[in-house]
Amino acid sequence: MHPRNLSIADFTYHLPNESIAKHPLEERDNSKLLVYKSGSIINSTYKNVSEFLPEGSLLIFNNTKVVEARLLFQKPTGGVIEIFCLEPEDQYKDIASAMLQKGPVRWKCFVGGASKWKHGMKLQKIVNEDRGKIVLEASIAGRLSDCFIIELSWQPQDLTFAEVLHLAGFIPLPPYLHREVEEEDKNRYQTIYAKNDGSVAAPTAGLHFTDSIFKKLAAKNIQKEFVTLHVGAGTFKPVKAATMEAHEMHAEFIDVTAEAIQKLIAFLDKTIVAVGTTSLRTIESLYWMGVKVCVQKDITLDELVIHQWDPYDVYPAGITAAEALQGLIDWMLKKGLTRLITKTQILIAPAYQLQIAKGIITNFHQPQSTLLLLVSAVVGRKWKEIYQYALDNDFRFLSYGDGCLLWPDGE
3-65+189-406 domain in CATH 3.40.1780.10?
yes
Looking at residue 78, its pLDDT comes to 79
| DSSP assignment of 276-331 | SHHHHHHHHHHHHHHHHHHH-TT--SGGGPBPTTHHHHTS-S---HHHHHHHHHHH
Contact 191, 275 (CB under 8 A): no
Looking at residue 81, its pLDDT comes to 94
* High-pLDDT (> 70) share of the chain, %: 99
| Three-state secondary-structure class, residue 127 | strand
Measured between alpha carbons, how far is 191 from 181 in angstroms, rounded to an integer? 17
Arithmetic mean of pLDDT over the chain: 94
| pLDDT (tens digit per residue) in 51-73 | 999 999 999 999 999 999 999 99
Looking at residue 236, its pLDDT comes to 64
Angle (nearest 5°) at CA 184 between 181 and 190: 90
| pLDDT (tens digit per residue) in 267-287 | 999 999 999 999 999 999 999
Interval 387-410 mean pLDDT: 96
> Which DSSP state fits 224?
E
Interval 185-195 mean pLDDT: 96
Nearest CA to 84 among 181, 178, 160, 172?
Answer: 172
Q: Could you tell me which residue, 328 or 2, shows the higher pLDDT? A: 328
Ramachandran region, residue 174 (left: φ > 0; alpha: ψ -120 to 50; beta: rest): beta
Contact 364, 402 (CB under 8 A): yes
Measured between alpha carbons, how far is 8 from 215 in angstroms, rounded to an integer? 41
Nearest CA to 207 among 225, 188, 224, 222?
Answer: 188
| Three-state secondary-structure class, residue 176 | helix
Band (pLDDT 50/70/90 cuts) for residue 34 is: very high
| pLDDT (tens digit per residue) in 287-343 | 999 999 999 999 999 999 999 999 998 677 789 999 999 999 999 999 999 999 999
| pLDDT (tens digit per residue) in 74-91 | 888 778 999 999 999 988
Four-point Cα dihedral 92, 94, 95, 97, nearest 10: -70
Q: Which residues pair with 45 in a beta bridge?
A: 32
Residues 6+ apart with CB under 8 A from 329: 258, 261, 262, 265
Measured between alpha carbons, how far is 90 from 67 in angstroms, rounded to an integer? 19
Nearest CA to 52 among 382, 389, 403?
Answer: 403
Band (pLDDT 50/70/90 cuts) for residue 26 is: very high
The answer to whether the peptide bond before residue 76 is cis (omega within 30 degrees of 0) is: no
In single-letter form, the type of residue at position 379 comes to: V
- Residue 141, H or E segment: strand 132-143
Rounded to the nearest 10 degrees, the angle between the axes of helix 277-295 and helix 258-266 is 90
Query: What are the two backbone dihedrals, phi and then psi, of residue 39, each rounded to the nearest 5 degrees?
Result: 85, -5
Band (pLDDT 50/70/90 cuts) for residue 129 is: confident
> Which DSSP state fits 205?
G
| pLDDT (tens digit per residue) in 200-252 | 999 999 999 999 999 999 999 999 999 999 998 777 677 889 999 999 888 89
Task: Say what the pTM is.
Answer: 0.94
Query: What are the two backbone dihedrals, phi and then psi, of residue 325, each rounded to the nearest 5 degrees?
Result: -70, -40
Looking at residue 323, its pLDDT comes to 97
Domain boundaries, the chain: 3-65+189-406, 69-170
Q: For residue 137, is pLDDT > 90?
A: yes
In single-letter form, the type of residue at position 24 comes to: P
Looking at residue 262, its pLDDT comes to 98
